[in-house]
Amino acid sequence: MDTDQSVNTTSSPTETLPRTRRPEDRAPEIARAALELFVTRGFAATKLEDVAKAASVSKGLPYLYFKNKEELFKAVITEAIGGPLAEASDMIDHFQGTSEDLLRELVLGFRAFEESPAGGVVKLILAEAGNFPDVARFFCAHFDLRGRELFIRALRRGVQRKEFRQIEDIETTAIILAQPLAMFSVWKRSLAPYDPTNTLSSDQFYAAYLDFIFKGLRP
């Protein structure tokens, strides 16, 4: 009898946890469910009711956190990109290797993000920017500039340590480094599957990209 009571006591919290989560804990789940649907179905084709079903919440719960689909879109961007950007920034703060290795790690980190399910958010943002300018401004102010700043910091580090040549306009150079990565991600998820002449692999692209930029940055 005592043994049975012990088992019941220890298992009960685990069994009831999903039913006792506070309401504020559900917003990230809703955003993650929306991210998957927005990427796979498209933003316009996804209804908030579809998101609620995918998140296993009541049909009206998304409206408790997000007054409209546009606000949910912003939460999706935050959920998808906020974490990777913070991790990359922390890596730069504590990186001990050469600036070339640092830049390589930044690019490989983008590749890991781009190849994850969340990576489809880049194409989604570009596709919907004209339809939702407020979302586009939100992305630029809170995420695009932060991503660009990662490259600026890596470039400045390399110049200061004399591992990279002197760069007259680091801010513009950072844009030149960042944009091909974003466009490759979009191309892979849009035109590449329909191009009969396409034989380019991700390995080939990233190897050629790194070779190209390092030859331009080395003293």
Residue type, 32: R
On the CB side of 183, how many CA atoms lie within 13 Å of its CA? 7
* Class of residue 180 by CB neighbours under 10 A (exposed 0-12, middle 13-18, buried 19+): middle
Inform me whether the pLDDT recorded for 155 exceeds 50.
yes
What is the arithmetic mean of pLDDT over 101-123? 95
What is the arithmetic mean of pLDDT over 115-129? 92
Residue 5 CA: distances (Å) to CA of 8, 16, 19, 132: 5, 17, 22, 57
Q: How far apart are CA 166 and CA 108, in angstroms?
A: 24
What is the arithmetic mean of pLDDT over 82-103? 97
Query: How far, rounded to the nearest angstrom, does the alpha carbon of residue 210 sit from its chain's CA centroid?
Result: 21
Largest CA distance in the chain: 78
Enter the pTM of the model: 0.82
Inform me whether the pLDDT recorded for 131 exceeds 60.
yes
- The reported pLDDT for the residue numbered 17 is 44
- The reported pLDDT for the residue numbered 25 is 72
**Architecture, CATH, for domain 74-219:** Orthogonal Bundle (1.10)
What is the arithmetic mean of pLDDT over 21-50? 86
Inform me whether the pLDDT recorded for 15 exceeds 90.
no
Give domain limits for the chain.
1-66, 74-219
The CATH number given to 1-66 is 1.10.10.60
